[in-house]
Structure 1
Amino acid sequence: MESVQSPNPTKERLLQQDSSSDNIGTAKPEADNQEAEGKGPAGAVQGQRPLRRYWIRALVAIAIPTIITVYYGIIWVWLVQGTTIDEAVKYNTYSGSLIFYSWFIIGVFALSWAKFGLIGVESSMLHTPFWHAPNMVVLLMHADSTWSSPSGWLKAIKHREFHRLWVLLTFTSVLPFIAMPLSGLVFEITDGYISTSEIPLVQGRNQTTFNKKYEQAMAVKPPESAWLLGYPPSIPGIGIIYTDKSVDRSEHDDLKKLPNTLPVAESIPDLFLPPQAEKPVSGRTWGLRIKYDCSVVQSASEFTILSQKPASSIWSLCNEEFDGTKCIDLKTPSGDYISMRNATLLSGNPINVGAYFEVGTSAIPRYKLYDGDDPDFEADEGDNSFVFEYAAWQYHSNGSYHEDTSFFNETVGSTIEGIGSPFIESDGKTYTVNHTFFALKGDIVDGSLYPNRTSDASELMELETIFDGFYNVLLLAPPVGVRCVASSGLGTAELDGVTSTFRNFQRVDPKQADAGFTAGSQRFGLSAADILHDRFHELYIAGGLPGLEGVSNSNRLPGFVTSDGLLRAVNLAYAVDAFDLIYSITSSFKAPWPEPGLTTSREGRILAIASLIPGSAVGYLVLALFCIWAALSVGLSLWYGFRMRPSERLDGYTMLWKGVEMADDLKDNEELIKRKSFHGSKALAALPGR
């Protein structure tokens, strides 16, 4: 006997309501009528909900991930990575505050916006054969949007309940959930400077004042006084030295902090020294372009001037009684000059370290001044470059007293191979002059201050006195040397305040000195050569080496001049030379003046790579996560988001329909009544999810 199914009044009532379009309009949530476009077929079966097309959620799922990904890409790739700023200066053309804070305001809403769009796509996908929910448990997981939050992910893992659509939506949601917090660790805002349109006040020489030199007649010139102190001068104002764009400023310690310092431990090619302001500037201005490329010599073949000594002839002699210096000046076949000197005394007193040293310089330029006829700047060594070479052979002696050698540091660093020695060792610890080393061509030079023919320079230098017994030479050190190539030019250049670089240098000669002044400024490199050409013991201070120590009523030096110390001393001579040319070591021309070709800056906040996670790898990882998220969201939305479906989303109203349809199957199910959660329910798992 067939059983008669009892009527379900609730289900019949809902079917009657759903058959009326007017009633549906009042029962549905707020956005349904606004988004609906078209309805189901006129002859739809009674009880089947009409199909509609929902636009807003699909458009949101397309637009929001795309906008967020593009915005992050602009910030990271273009504004942070694409803009190389000088980390010491931290100057930029725009403020980073608005960009930084707007990104994190967007981040507050990004995840909820993404969820809003994907919920609509989810509803469409659940109505497809491939993505539909296999049972009621999976459908309830989608109804709760458990794929969009960590709590839902943990529940799914705990109960081991997964489905292909749930996994896909979870993966899509996890991407921005990871990327957004990480984005806060890859860039930040930091204190810096932001460009303005105001004209700055600067200090330093300009085209009009460059050749006005007051100190030419001073016995000790200001650059020499500064060199003897051993400290590189500090660039005035904010202190920015501008470099060519090919120079990686992060690799040079002298440029890593403000104020920058002219290099003394290394060479930085192609520097531009303009007048300085108190804040970073941009624009076009006049200044001094210089290069001094100094390096430790390791082979005699590197010398181009000193190597000509055997073929040279004597030009002049000198004899300095006070410091015991004997010197001979030679003229080489190429017209360059070599100075041969020995230093045995310090301030008129014997000292435990002496030296024979040679200095080679390019032929004195016909135009020593910046008078309009001086040569142009040469980036590479050329005919107009100024070459300076220095080689020293040192010896350790008793000095004033019997020397305790246990304290003495015999290290000299890198030495010159293949250059020979002015002294030779014989009979163990006995040293004599190497006359072969001092052999000269012996010609008489026209116009020379020494008109005699001499083929052995050692006789004129009286080097035998070093070995007469008073000094008692204890040790000869291997030779050390330095070679420099310098060039300079005056003109205008375009300053890039963001990178602290210059470009488009154009020669513009300074105005010549008037009758009230001396001849003008010497070309860069000549003052440095003047400082160094007769100096040895002063190299200790200028080279940053351990200096004199008191012993009884005398002094002694704790070691030899090292190759690195010699390099620093030579570089320092060029540094003070350049500084004095454009900024003046004395108090002359330090009053500020307006430079209309430049614009200044103000203090502000700029974008920078985060200090917590340096480098760019994490930033590009975040970009990759956003790109995958955007691609998935856009792809799913375009393919599924615009399809017609019975509801905008899998909401409570839809689940009410499901409950009505399954009321007879579930109302007397004791397992379902007793369970606190749908997870693990065999009854729900047995029911279809469609």
Structure 2
Amino acid sequence: MSLLTPSSSAVDYTDMADADAILLRNDSVDVDGDRNPLIVVHSPGYSLQRHYKRGLMGTCVPLVLAAYYLLIWAIYLSPVVSPNNQNFGLSGAQLVLYSWMVLSIVGLDLGAYGFLDAEASMLMTTFWAAPNAWHLMVHGEHTWSGIDGWIDAVKSLFGRKRKSRRPGRLWWVLASVTALLFLALPLTGLTMELKDGYRKTSTAPNVIGQNWTTFNQRSGPALLTAAHNAWGLAVPPRVPGIGMIYTNSSKDRKNLIFSNLKVLPNTIPADPGVDEVFLAPQAYVPISGRTWGMMIRYNCTVVRRLEDFAILSRRNGSKSLPHWDTISDPDGLQAVNTYDVGPHTITIRSHNDTNYWAVSELAYSSELYGTDFFSHENSTQCYFNKREGAKNGYPGLEHDNILELAIWQHATNNDGLVNPPLPSGFYNFSIDTTVAGLSGAYSARSHTDASTFPMDAIGLQCKSSSAVGIAEVDGKTATYQKFERSDTEATFSFSQCAPRLSLAVPQFIFQENGATTSWAEDFFTSVEAAPLFLTAMSDDPVVPVTVRPTLLQASELRISLLRAYGTAAAQLMFDGGQGWSYSYSSQRHSFTNFNATSYEKARVLGQGPISPITAAVPLVLWAFGSCLISVLYGFERRWADTLDSFSLFQFGGDASDKVKEMSSFAVKDFTDHEQMIRLPGLVGDSRPGFNPGHVTLVGYSEAQKRKKYV
């Protein structure tokens, strides 16, 4: 292309004998002050060139940038969500975050870089061409790629400027696509952040708790005593170590209503019971793999009618039922050990305080629990079957063990017992739910006279089951799968056997036998109910006496039994789970589980305050728009790489005669020159009928891409 290229209106083309000669009108003045009206330029012309570098950049950079972010989203920002609010991630989190920060900084320039070549090609088409030279100057400054240009464009829509001064369709397309990138990149930074979490290792974890070998290397009575003490003091049944209780992988843990399982360390749920959770030895960090442990399931429901009991509903048909309904001893109810209801057994306990009487009936299956209130060994009392030649073993998860409990209560606010008298509002002897059909089955006799008081009953039915075995656990999701029963090694006596969950609970809640024991008090303390009140006797002020201000509610009895099951499970698997410390691991059983791998604490990449899709949508739209424009126009032949200042200098030279007509041109901004609107804006061919042609600003003639130009 020749540098001597006046505007099309100032060019007088004449056919020459020399095919390579072009006659151009020259309006310039030579050094002697004379005009040379014609200049003959001998040139074969030059072909329009393709500029592949920018085309490839405009096509590939958006794809790579969007693909990299989507990859980060898929690998780092879409991990399995931990239901315990734990963060899990992969290695290289910091490198990924910092690399994206660098790409975000240069991404804006990279986005505009590929657009510049497509812009030049599009300006050579009549559809996308600038309406006039004024709009071409706007493109020359690439105002579509920055906030200043967008603000001016918006102002032009609502300002007083004429419609002809508003940006053309090409400007709006380029600005819209670029704005998507301006929106997407800051949002991507808000979708990711470094967090404290865990990443997987290949190291076998050191865990604490019982395994197949050690489970029965403990004293059964000692286990029951420890469970009784923890339950009576309302100690939460906490899981040691990191404290992770595993739920079934087929169930969405997030939908479970157990608040105990949402924060580590977990505690075994007390309400509304447990629907199959797996307790396994714990590490200080999450672990994944195969591990031995105990599966438990239990729940309790309040009974409202006698016929709703499965065992106690048949109590009146027992031939051995004691036929008395009032006390024969002024100090309390007679204690009767047991009576039979077919294959079931009912055990009776009584309790007496200063102003409180209670009697309980505990019903259970003789086959599953044994007889004489567990005073003799049962062949299925442990997690193996001790019967010689037995094949079926103990009742596992396929069988629910039923335990039923009814408690009759009565209390008095006789102020004659205490001194000084207590206020009337001190006592509250109402009961939330009583069992219809059992009221008056027992009566209490007054301490001061021969009068009797019918007692109302509260009732409960519990179903439980458990088994020991091996399962695959996932520390990320706190779930288990593929549970396989694996019974413990057999021992020879109860003293060397950890009792099954279903048998442990009724044994330790009534651990102390006798008519004057504190079993009733344990039910109150296990749910942190109103405590006994210490005062003085009315007839002897120096003698202390305790009075009970309330009765045990059916709802409290339910919570108490549920806590008893949880406490028993924690005692069986973790020796209670209290006081575990890695600093003194030798005090408890610890071992290495070579069938599992552990996680380690690390800084991991996780989701930020906004969802990744919020940034991915504009980023993908920008990438698609950029690639589409670059593919369609980025590889087209054009007069120059981009619409740069040199191109504008050339076009200005071609239009020099009209530029001179613009008054005060040198002291005004181009946006204030109305004359520029009269100049054409299409970068086309001013010699459409000749070869070589000439690229300059024209009104309508597009340049043929395979033609030569000067």
> If the length of structure 2 is used for normalisation, what is the TM-score?
0.76
In 1, Cα distance between equivalents of 2:41 and 2:245? 79
Are positions 1:681 and 2:658 aligned together?
A: no
Q: What CA deviation, in whole Å up to 9, does each residue of 1:348-378 have, x standing for no partner?
A: x3135x4454433344425111125534642
**Higher alpha-carbon deviation: 290-299 or 178-187:** 290-299
Residues 1:658 and 1:484: Cα distance change in structure 2 (over 3 Å): farther
Amino acid aligned to 2:362: V
Query: What does residue 380 of structure 2 align with?
Result: 367
In 2, Cα distance between equivalents of 1:261 and 1:270? 15
In the TM superposition, residue 392 of structure 1 has moved relative to its aligned partner by 4.2
In the TM superposition, residue 172 of structure 1 has moved relative to its aligned partner by 0.9
**CA contact 1:148–1:173 (8 Å) conserved in 2:** yes
Query: What does residue 465 of structure 1 align with?
Result: 445
In the TM superposition, residue 299 of structure 1 has moved relative to its aligned partner by 6.6
Amino acid aligned to 1:284: R
In the TM superposition, residue 153 of structure 1 has moved relative to its aligned partner by 0.9
Query: What does residue 575 of structure 1 align with?
Result: 566
SS for the counterpart of 2:354 is: strand
In the TM superposition, residue 595 of structure 1 has moved relative to its aligned partner by 1.9
Residues 1:96 and 1:308: Cα distance change in structure 2 (over 3 Å): farther
In 2, Cα distance between equivalents of 1:420 and 1:337? 22
Query: What does residue 503 of structure 2 align with?
Result: 526
**CA contact 2:330–2:445 (8 Å) conserved in 1:** no
In the TM superposition, residue 604 of structure 1 has moved relative to its aligned partner by 0.2
Residues 1:16 and 1:198: Cα distance change in structure 2 (over 3 Å): farther
**CA contact 1:289–1:489 (8 Å) conserved in 2:** yes
Are positions 1:561 and 2:521 aligned together?
A: no
Given candidates 33, 36, 60, the residue that maps to 1:63 is: 60
SS for the counterpart of 1:71 is: helix
Q: Aligned residues, how many?
A: 603
Are positions 1:240 and 2:244 aligned together?
A: yes
Residues 1:93 and 1:115: Cα distance change in structure 2 (over 3 Å): closer
**CA contact 1:120–1:648 (8 Å) conserved in 2:** yes
**CA contact 1:272–1:502 (8 Å) conserved in 2:** yes
SS for the counterpart of 1:288 is: strand
In 2, Cα distance between equivalents of 1:503 and 1:291? 16
SS for the counterpart of 2:393 is: coil
Given candidates 390, 405, 421, the residue that maps to 2:424 is: 405
In 1, Cα distance between equivalents of 2:491 and 2:11? 122
The percent of aligned pairs where both chains have the same amino acid is: 28
In 1, Cα distance between equivalents of 2:469 and 2:599? 24
Residues 1:468 and 1:514: Cα distance change in structure 2 (over 3 Å): same
In 2, Cα distance between equivalents of 1:360 and 1:680? 99
Query: What does residue 454 of structure 1 align with?
Result: none
In 2, Cα distance between equivalents of 1:386 and 1:64? 66
In 2, Cα distance between equivalents of 1:18 and 1:555? 123
Given candidates 619, 643, 646, the residue that maps to 2:639 is: 646
SS for the counterpart of 1:679 is: helix
In the TM superposition, residue 592 of structure 1 has moved relative to its aligned partner by 2.3
SS for the counterpart of 1:276 is: coil
In 1, Cα distance between equivalents of 2:272 and 2:42? 88
In 1, Cα distance between equivalents of 2:222 and 2:109? 78
SS for the counterpart of 2:521 is: coil
Query: What does residue 183 of structure 2 align with?
Result: 178
**CA contact 1:525–1:577 (8 Å) conserved in 2:** no
In the TM superposition, residue 133 of structure 1 has moved relative to its aligned partner by 0.8
In structure 1, runs of 5+ residues without a counterpart are: 21-42, 424-432, 439-457
In the TM superposition, residue 190 of structure 1 has moved relative to its aligned partner by 0.9
**Higher alpha-carbon deviation: 231-240 or 168-177:** 231-240
Q: What CA deviation, in whole Å up to 9, does each residue of 1:114-165 have, x standing for no partner?
A: 1111222222222222111111222222222211121221122234423211
Query: What does residue 201 of structure 2 align with?
Result: 196
Amino acid aligned to 2:525: I
Residues 1:97 and 1:539: Cα distance change in structure 2 (over 3 Å): farther
Alpha-carbon RMSD across the aligned residues, in angstroms, is 3.8
SS for the counterpart of 1:603 is: strand
Q: Rg larger in 1 or in 2?
A: 2
**CA contact 2:428–2:549 (8 Å) conserved in 1:** yes
Are positions 1:97 and 2:94 aligned together?
A: yes
In 1, Cα distance between equivalents of 2:151 and 2:307? 74
SS for the counterpart of 2:291 is: strand
In 2, Cα distance between equivalents of 1:239 and 1:10? 93
Are positions 1:274 and 2:274 aligned together?
A: no
State how 1:232-631 maps to structure 2 within 5 Å.
232-250=236-254, 251=256, 252-297=258-303, 303-314=309-320, 326-327=335-336, 329-333=338-342, 335-343=343-351, 345=352, 349-352=353-356, 354-365=357-368, 367-372=380-385, 373-375=392-394, 377-378=396-397, 382=398, 384-392=399-407, 394-398=409-413, 400-401=417-418, 404-409=423-428, 415=433, 419-423=435-439, 433=440, 438=441, 458=442, 463-465=443-445, 480-513=458-491, 518-532=495-509, 535-552=519-536, 553-585=544-576, 590-610=588-608, 612-613=609-610, 618-631=611-624
In the TM superposition, residue 317 of structure 1 has moved relative to its aligned partner by 11
**CA contact 1:10–1:660 (8 Å) conserved in 2:** no
**CA contact 1:397–1:471 (8 Å) conserved in 2:** no
Are positions 1:663 and 2:656 aligned together?
A: yes
In the TM superposition, residue 208 of structure 1 has moved relative to its aligned partner by 0.9
Amino acid aligned to 1:407: F
In 1, Cα distance between equivalents of 2:400 and 2:28? 105
> If the length of structure 1 is used for normalisation, what is the TM-score?
0.78
In structure 2, runs of 5+ residues without a counterpart are: 1-9, 13-24, 158-165, 369-378, 386-391, 512-518, 537-543, 580-585, 683-710
In 1, Cα distance between equivalents of 2:569 and 2:534? 35
SS for the counterpart of 2:520 is: coil
